[in-house]
Structure 1
Amino acid sequence: MNDSGRLQMAMESVPPHNVTHIEAPEYAVESCDQCSSAGTPLALDDRHLAGVGDSTQLFGVQVVLILAYITIIVFGVVGNALVIYVVFKFKTLRTVTNFFIVNLAVSDLFMNTLCLPFTLVHTLYGEWKFGRVLCFVLPCAQAMAVHVSTITFNIIALDRHRSIVYHLETKMSKDMCALVIVATWAVSALLASPLAVFREYLTLDLSPGASIKVCAEQWPVSSMDGTMYSICMLLVQYGLPLAVNSFAYLRIWSMLKKHSSSPGGRNDRHRRQRKTTKMLVTVVVVFAVTWLPFHAVQLAIDMDSSVLDLKDFKLLFTVFHIVAMCSTCVNPILYGWMNNSYRNAFRRVCKCDFNYSRSNLFLSACFDKVKVPSAPTPSLIAALGFTSLYNL
């Protein structure tokens, strides 16, 4: 999300042949397969086409990148599809909050299928390989998926804030929930639409007999238009959602803590609210942490394009992109770990016999009753992810 046009030059730093001159006018070129939501034009620069020190072209590095992307794609697709399936299969899970969680899962599926495969191919080949139509469609669809995720986070937080902090017993109806979800996708499409409008598909002649295909942003006035759009989308996709979620969940947590300390405050309903709130806060924190490095490098590019000249910048950016995309596959693991309803639904679907207690989690029927500590260690999370996703 929020890729700058300058980033395209870093991502396309290895053309088919070693050349130092381009017979082409200055164009605004953007990486259209990095889940982008904005781009900043940059004139073609021989420095970025030198192809020097690009470690992503090393065989060993490419093998690691391929394995990383494939792992995220498989876990993301299977896990999020499972979340969607269990919510619509079991009536007890058909709540407004879970419908919004399904919306998150759908947006994560979009990112798994529209961002990761195309990003991997683009990183390996260093040019746009997907034709004219996808040049206009993919950037908009990618950005729309990211907007849907962040807007849905805000809606969930504000809805729970309304019902818990203000003690409103009237819940959002399912019809209203459906209307809000449709509006979320419509607003997201509108915010992402400039990436489909201000775009050009072109061929750059590198030398006689050598050329590359690029998917270019072409803003109507100047490169500053792209920079302003990039910064605005950074605020809309990251800064504003974090501010809204932090405010809402801090007030929710304060209210629940205050209630639990009062006489008679530890009833089942408030225990469930605390557990659900803790799960949702964890999902938001994971999203914020995984996307932070990616957004930081985007902001650095917008502020100073000289960072593109850093050694192994392309590899660094790709690693940050992989970390950001991890957020699309960890949510089902978090649901299975932190929410009893999802855990029971996953168990019923996969027909594995989980015996859970406060001190221990036994995985039987799948792992011959291997005993696993209940503390949220990385190994426990991995075990839950494998059992909840692979066997379901």
Structure 2
Amino acid sequence: MLSFPGWLLAMNADELNMTQKEHIPFEDGHFNCCSFINDGNLWTLDDSTKLVGVQVVLILAYSTIILFGVTGNSLVIYVVYKFKNLRTVTNFFIVNLAVADLLVNTLCLPFTLVYLLYDEWMFGQVLCFLLPFAQGMTVHVSTITLNIIALDRHRSIVNHMETKMSKDLCAVVIVISWALSALLASPLAIFREYGSFKLSPEESLQVCTEKWPDSSMNGKIYSFSMLVVQVVIPLLINSVAYIRIWNKLKKHMTCGRNDNQRRRKTTKMMLTMVVVFAVSWLPFHAFQLAIDIDNNVLNMKDFKLVFTVFHIMAMCSTCVNPILYGWMNNNYRTAFLSVVKCYRPLGVRYRSSKNREKQKDDDRDCTDFRSTNL
């Protein structure tokens, strides 16, 4: 299970030892699928990610994801906190998604970029165990939360259950989702090894690898299980739930039913979030599974670059949700504009003269926001 990127991390400790003994004579200055050329203290790597142009593109890609992820997810958390009318159960779950994505942007991606550029674990033993666990846990939180949102909407729309989930129960569900996610991601911290491998008498390489007990088969089983838990099952649950919700709303859609129109728009936004999440993560999980099934994948040309591209695709899911909210949901778009530009669109203004006076005060203060709950 490649929860944390980096071509060295693609191998567990046993595979790394096997590579050292069978394929790579360290004294000749070779290591794995990439060739090290020993010229005094100068080591060059036959790897396209070492090209300056490629590195610039990768730095820009990761930096853009971090910038948009931190800004967008922080804005989502802030507007739900600031505006009372956005404090609904669905929005609390959206905040839970934003917190998980924000943790990936801040705790994982900067370290990933450094590891990618230097090909060496430079962050010590504690972070070797913590960071892969943190990324695995936050991904589980995202998938579980998306499922919870879908099932809750299915319950209220398809089953006609008018009683909404209470905010206290919502808090309990969120805590349970984090606890369950921590449990599912715990093998990424438990079965891990931090160590140093000598490339020559003068040179050594600090690595952070997976080390599964007994044999690497346990790692393959875990990777396959995570593909099922993080992609297959969530896709099935969300697909069935949203298809039934969409059909229900389509049957009851009438020109004068603003409530149904609002529900349909919100459902469309949630469904798009699920599709984006699946498209982002499916190639990454499939590639991980291919590595676990056949170790020869590690020797493919430009393995590191291909792995990095799939990882960038997966990480895009951490910054795209706030964009979807602003594009597909009027409430979030208006709230974002209220915060960023201190601006309020005419469409949300009250039309009565009494409320219009109050509206002017609110516009001057930029401290209020009126919206229809999700």
Report the TM-score range of the alignment, normalised by the length of the smaller protein. 0.7 to 0.9
Q: Pairwise mapping of residues 29-108 of structure 1 onto structure 2 (< 5 A)?
A: 44=20, 45-46=23-24, 47-51=32-36, 53-108=46-101
1:345-364 matched pairs, under 5 angstroms: 345-351=335-341, 353=343
The one-character-per-residue Cα deviations of 1:223-280 (angstroms, maximum 9, x if unpaired) are: 11111111101111111111110011011001111111xxx57411111100100010
Mark the structure with the bigger radius of gyration: 2
> SS where residue 229 of structure 2 aligns?
helix
Is the partner of 1:222 in helix, strand or coil? coil
Residue 220 of structure 2 corresponds to residue 231 of structure 1: no
Tell me the amino acid that sits aligned with residue 300 of structure 2. Answer: L
Partner of 1:367: none
Name the structure 2 match of 1:271. 261
Opposite residue 338 of structure 2, the aligned amino acid is R
Whole-Å Cα distance in 2 between the matches of residues 171 and 75 of structure 1? 33
Pick one of 149, 157, 161 that aligns with 1:168. 161
SS at match of 2:13: coil
What secondary structure sits across from 2:165 in the alignment?
A: coil
Which position in structure 2 is the counterpart of 1:341?
A: 331
Change (3 A) 1:9 1:201: closer
Moved over 3 A (4+): 4-12, 41-45, 352-357
The one of 126, 140, 147 equivalent to 1:154 is: 147
Match of 1:282 among 262, 267, 272: 272
Q: What does residue range 1-392 of structure 1 map to in structure 2 within 5 Å?
A: 2-3=1-2, 8-9=7-8, 27-28=13-14, 44=20, 45-46=23-24, 47-51=32-36, 53-260=46-253, 266-351=256-341, 353=343
Please say if residues 151 and 241 of structure 2, whose CA atoms lie closer than 8 Å, have aligned partners that are also in contact: yes
> How many aligned residue pairs are there?
330
Is the CA contact (8 Å cut-off) linking 1:4 and 1:298 kept in structure 2? Answer: no
Matched residue, 2:350: none
TM-score calculated relative to the size of structure 2? 0.83
Conservation of the 8 A alpha-carbon contact between 1:62 and 1:124: yes
Deviates further, 210-219 or 73-82: 210-219
**Unpaired segments of 5 or more residues in structure 2?**
25-31, 37-44, 348-374
The separation in 2 between residues aligned to 1:143 and 1:28, in whole angstroms, is 22
Which stretch of the first structure deviates more once superposed, 63-72 or 296-305? 296-305
Structure 1 vs Structure 2 CA RMSD: 2.3
Q: AA paired with 1:50?
A: S
Q: Deviations over 1:148-203 (max 9, x none)?
A: 00000100000001111100000000000000000000000011111111222111
Deviation, structure 1 residue 10: 7.7
User: Do 1:7 and 1:308's aligned partners in 2 also have CA atoms closer than 8 Å?
Assistant: no
- Say whether the 8 Å CA contact 2:273–2:321 is kept in structure 1: yes
Q: Secondary structure at the match of 2:252?
A: helix
TM-score between both structures, scaled by the size of structure 1: 0.79
Contact 2:3 2:136 in 1 (8 A): no
Pairwise CA distance, 1:11: 6.5
Displacement of 1:320 in angstroms is 1.4
Residue 339 of structure 1 aligns to which amino acid in structure 2? N
Cα gap change, 1:201/1:242 in structure 2, threshold over 3 Å: closer, same or farther? same
Whole-Å separation in 2 of the counterparts to 1:276 and 1:294: 28
- Cα offset for 1:29? 6.8
Amino acid at match of 1:112: N
Q: What SS does the aligned partner of 1:221 have?
A: coil
Measure how far apart 1:42 and its partner are.
6.9
Shift of 1:301: 1.3
Rounded Cα–Cα distance in structure 1 between residues aligned with 2:19 and 2:148:
40
Question: Structure 1 stretch 167-176 or stretch 109-118: which is displaced more?
Answer: 109-118
CA contact (8 A) 1:29 1:217 kept: no
User: Shift of residue 49 of structure 1?
Assistant: 4.9
The answer to whether the Cα contact below 8 Å between 2:47 and 2:302 also exists between their aligned partners in 1 is yes
1:107 deviation in Å? 0.5
**What is the alpha-carbon distance in structure 2 between the residues aligned to residue 222 and residue 6 of structure 1?**
22
Distance 1:29 1:336, change over 3 A: farther
CA distance in 2, matches of 1:274, 1:265: 13
What residue in structure 2 maps to residue 33 of structure 1? none
- SS of corresponding position for 2:199: strand
Q: Secondary structure at the match of 1:115?
A: helix
* CA 10–314 in structure 1, closer or farther in 2 if over 3 Å, else same: farther
Q: Secondary structure at the match of 1:287?
A: helix
